[in-house]
Amino acid sequence: MIVEFGHFALVLALAVAFVQSTLPMWGAYRRNTALMALAEPAAIIQFLLVAASFAALTYAFVVSDFSLSLVVQNSHTLKPMLYKVSGVWGNHEGSLLLWSLILALFGACAAWFGGNLPPTLKARVIGVQGMIGLAFLAFMLFTSNPFLRLAEPPLDGRDLNPLLQDPGLAFHPPFLYLGYVGLSMAFSFAVAALIEGRVDAAWGRWVRPWTLAAWIFLTIGIGLGSWWAYYELGWGGFWFWDPVENASLMPWLLAAALLHSAIVVEKRENLKAWTILLAIMAFGFSLIGTFIVRSGVITSVHSFASDPERGVFILLILAVFMGGALMLFAFRAGAMEAKGVFAMVSRESALVANNLLLSVSAFVVFIGTIWPLLAELFFDRKLSVGEPFFNAAFSPFFVGLALILPIGATMPWKRGLVRQSLRPLIPVAVLAFAVGVLVWSMQTGRTALGPVGVVLGIWVVFGTLVDLWSRTGRGPIGGRLARLTRLPRADWGKTTAHAGLGITIFAVCAMLAWKVEDIRVVPEGGSFPIGDYQVTLTKVEQTQGPNYYTTLATMEVRRGDRLVATLQPEKRVYPVQAMPTTEAAIDYGFLRDIYLVIGDPQAGGGWAVRSYIEPFANWLWGGVLIMAFGGFLSLSDRRYRVAAGASRRAAAPNAMPAE
């Protein structure tokens, strides 16, 4: 009964989305207040209906209702509760429902927090959001209905892919979807502004919090996925340039570009047309990502239930929304008049360079991802594009970004002097270079990647700190420290996010350059050295978990005489899916992770053992978290809190609005 209720709610949501996407748009066109006012309740009702539907599906998973075909294929009675719930979105249909839920949530947020938007803009934003919702709800109901029943329910389900039964991966997709779908708000704002024919500083201010929120979620989502790959897949890698990873990286890069260009719109009323285009493309790449994952045109290791019919449907959605938005852009972009004037050397120019590097790097990822498809279609060549290509073609853009970042960040708006901006950075450059040379000489004969990472990391982190310090003006230290605490949160956010990027760049280089690896056969009781450590395989035993069998090894890591850690790597077999997984055991440390994997028993006795020392691994996840936290600080800045304007006005009716 509850399942039918969920199904029905989904159909109703489709109808509401239809109302939401048509009447408010018509109302905004005719300046009809009553029709425009429909937008808000429609968005909220759509959200409530999709939420009810999602709750019904979750209920079916929790009670293991095997009359639902989706539950049979993705669940099992023995599965731990956490994975019964995360199994809801661990499949194509359920993840689409999650996608639609978040889409509707953002639409409802626009209704709840959009109090200070002009009525026509608000009606149009919610209307466009409704159109996207309409497309995805129709897609779900017509090609991938999660509520299909089975005539003869089986006794038990087929279980969730064991690799996905992991806490890191349980929360990875919701974050990623919050990011992808969050970009739909930027898209809706862009299309609404194009229809209105007006983009001004206020528009930039409204768009930024949504983009920032989407970017934060994408950052966390990508970080979680990368962390999961690191500890779960058993060879210590964290990024594989797989098409599906690239699908999440492209919107992230464009969202980062959009964040920066929206600042220029907001503060200087420049780059308007470009910002609109970026907002359209950022969401476009989210849709392309969806297409790549769900259509199966590009072989990825993440083989989702690929189905040509679904692929065509998504391609249709992509064509309608991108085609429509870009056409609108072509007609209206000319009307976006730039206002501010700036010199060649200025913050504006630096942000133009930032946008150029970020968007071209996104394009490189894009062409690298689809090239195998294009080459096969047009040139009859079956080929692969992998890590070496991306290392060579993509990394230079990030080196360039890291190099210009501190300079651009200290540059004043409108007009600056190269000399003036560079002067406070000279000590930083000297420090970075000196430490780089030191590292280079210490690690004789290894790849230059390590020292390069050190130089870039120090340059970005300390450069951005110097920038923050220079914001406190002149005078005695005490006064400057006091001013430091009073700086707007946006400044702190900028510094934090940039420092996080510097740390991430350093950690990526360090992990790639200084990883130590060892593969060997170890008998029970045997020991071997790796780096400064001595590892002993004390015992191997066979045991059982809730829904798997496991080979559990116990290994002791010693440094000199001191016991550093006792680790228990596992090799599990999930009988329902007949799938083995490795559970690496990791001793997390500040400067290094010790990463141990147990393999198969060998014919001549003993076990295959893989061990790694991963330098600065935690700095990578730390850097990503710091980046996201910086975004959060910026988001919490009073000036961007969406409702702040409204509440302040209520408190002090005579106060002038800021700026």
Rounded Cα–Cα distance for residues 382 and 319 (Å): 27
Site string for another protein, 530-569 (x = CB under 8 A): ----------------------------------------
Q: How far is CA 327 from CA 26, 195, 524, in A?
A: 19, 11, 68
Among positions 384, 441, 485, 654, the unique one binding another protein when judged by CB under 8 A: 384
Site string for another protein, 448-487 (x = CB under 8 A): ----------------------------------------
Q: Using the rule CB under 8 A, give the single segment among 76-84, 240-248, 530-538, 633-641 that binds another protein.
A: 240-248
Question: Is the backbone of residue 549 left (phi > 0), alpha (psi -120 to 50) or beta?
Answer: beta
Cβ–Cβ under 8 Å, residues 226 and 508: no
DSSP string, 76-92: -TTS-HHHHHHGGGSSH
Query: Which is it for the CA torsion 318, 323, 325, 326, positive or negative?
Result: positive
Q: Using the rule CB under 8 A, give the single segment among 10-18, 315-323, 363-371, 620-628 that binds another protein.
A: 363-371
Instruction: Tell which positions 80-119 bind another protein, by CB under 8 A.
Output: 89-92, 95
Instruction: Tell which positions 166-205 bind another protein, by CB under 8 A.
Output: 169, 172-173, 176-177
Instruction: Tell which positions 132-161 bind another protein, by CB under 8 A.
Output: 158, 161
Residue 153 beta carbon to another protein: minimum distance, rounded to whole angstroms: 18
What lies within 8 Å, CB to CB, of 462 at 6+ separation is 428, 431, 432
Among positions 48, 55, 201, 375, the unique one binding another protein when judged by CB under 8 A: 375
Q: Which of 171/440 has CB closer to another protein? A: 171
Q: How far is CA 623 from CA 141, 229, 497, in A?
A: 41, 17, 9
Among positions 330, 341, 399, 442, the unique one binding another protein when judged by CB under 8 A: 341
Q: Which of 22/69 has CB closer to another protein? A: 69
The closest of 123, 112, 267 to 203, measured between CA atoms, is 267
Site string for another protein, 390-429 (x = CB under 8 A): --xxx--x--------------------------------
Instruction: Tell which positions 209-228 bind another protein, by CB under 8 A.
Output: 221-222, 225-226, 228
Task: Please give the helix or strand (H or E) that residue 5 lies within, else none.
Answer: helix 2-30
CA dihedral defined by 32, 36, 42, 43, rounded to 10 degrees?
A: 170
DSSP string, 548-611: -EEEEEEEEEEETTEEEEEE--EEEEETTTTEEEEE-EEE--SSEEEEEEEEEEPTTSSEEEEE
Q: Using the rule CB under 8 A, give the single segment among 7-15, 252-260, 302-310, 626-634 that binds another protein.
A: 302-310
Cβ–Cβ under 8 Å, residues 454 and 506: yes
Instruction: Tell which positions 259-278 bind another protein, by CB under 8 A.
Output: 270
Residue 428 beta carbon to another protein: minimum distance, rounded to whole angstroms: 26
Among positions 243, 457, 502, 623, the unique one binding another protein when judged by CB under 8 A: 243
The two tokens of residue 406 are 């501190």
CA 564 and chain centroid, separation: 35
The runs of H, that is alpha helices, within 333-446 are 347-379, 387-393, 395-410, 418-422, 426-442
Residue 385 as a binder of another protein (CB under 8 A): the answer is yes
Residue 443 as a binder of another protein (CB under 8 A): the answer is no
By rule CB under 8 A, what count of residues binds another protein? 97
Residue 601 as a binder of another protein (CB under 8 A): the answer is no
Among positions 40, 65, 348, 593, the unique one binding another protein when judged by CB under 8 A: 348
Q: How far is CA 586 from CA 33, 71, 208, 525, 560, in A?
A: 61, 33, 39, 20, 19
Residue 387 as a binder of another protein (CB under 8 A): the answer is yes
Rounded Cα–Cα distance for residues 130 and 185 (Å): 11
Q: Which of 237/589 has CB closer to another protein? A: 237
Instruction: Tell which positions 9-68 bind another protein, by CB under 8 A.
Output: none
Site string for another protein, 572-591 (x = CB under 8 A): -----x--xxx---------
